[in-house]
Amino acid sequence: QVQLVESGGGLVQAGGSLRLSCAASARTFDSYTMGWFRQAPGKEREFVAAIRWNSGSTDYADSVKGRFTISRDNAKKTVVLRMNSLKPEDTANYYCAANLRGIRLRDGTVYDYWGQGTQVTVSS
């Protein structure tokens, strides 16, 4: 069982930065592939970024590649999403998620555990 709690969301001006954190309660946090997803009002949930548990390799949505960076600190049981050069299009609720399979990282149905989300609002 994994409990995930996101934090770090807020209001930021376009071009600014935010650091989102996801704290996990699981003892075996380092066994999970972690992902970030987002959902804007009236829109479907979309993949943002993920990091594998085994290789540490990362994957990013094309819309955020080069601007966002995902990382993890297994000792602190935390996954972080650093967001730079934010755009109004980035406005959404951001969710962290965990899975033990490490496959189909962009598919939300693969993930077993989800946080409750943190709101990111980017003003133009």
pLDDT in tens, 19-38: 999 999 877 777 889 999 99
**Amino acid 55: pLDDT:** 75
**Amino acid 17: pLDDT:** 98
Q: Quick one: residue 53, left, alpha or beta (phi over 0 = left, psi -120 to 50 = alpha)?
A: alpha
**Amino acid 57: pLDDT:** 92
Q: With 80 as the cut, is the pLDDT of residue 2 above it?
A: yes
One-letter identity of residue 45:
R
